[in-house]
Amino acid sequence: MTTGTSNSPAFILYRVEGNGQNASWTKIGAAWPNRDGKGFNIRCEAVPLQGRIVMRAYTPKPKADTDAANDAAPAKPAAKKAGAR
């Protein structure tokens, strides 16, 4: 049996409480397909007592896009501390 922890997951698990735009989504785990394709290995960091569990397909963001976005973003000015002149 493989746990799939070395590969990207197929799904991300969320705890969802509420509905519509007022819903609160908290990432709680991930799921990887079994080798035989007949099930999933699920790893939960938390198990909610309230709300519902939603499993959504995982689509990793391309690393090149993330790096390019970080390079293109302007540097934020340092925040002044209270009392600083």
Is 83 a member of any domain?
no
Is 44 a member of any domain?
yes
Is 3 a member of any domain?
no
Nearest to residue 24, comparing CAs of 8, 44, 48?
48
Residue-wise pLDDT for 53-85, tens only, equals: 999 999 988 887 545 555 555 554 455 555 554
Is 82 a member of any domain?
no
Q: What is the pTM of this model?
A: 0.63
CA–CA separation, 25 vs 23, rounded Å?
A: 6
Quick one: which H or E segment has residue 67?
A: helix 63-72
Is 42 a member of any domain?
yes
CA–CA separation, 66 vs 44, rounded Å?
A: 27
Is 84 a member of any domain?
no
Is 77 a member of any domain?
no
Nearest to residue 54, comparing CAs of 24, 22, 34?
24
User: Domain containing 57: what range?
Assistant: 11-71
Domain count across the chain: 1
Residue-wise pLDDT for 1-50, tens only, equals: 444 445 899 999 999 999 999 999 999 999 999 999 999 999 999 999 99
Is 5 a member of any domain?
no
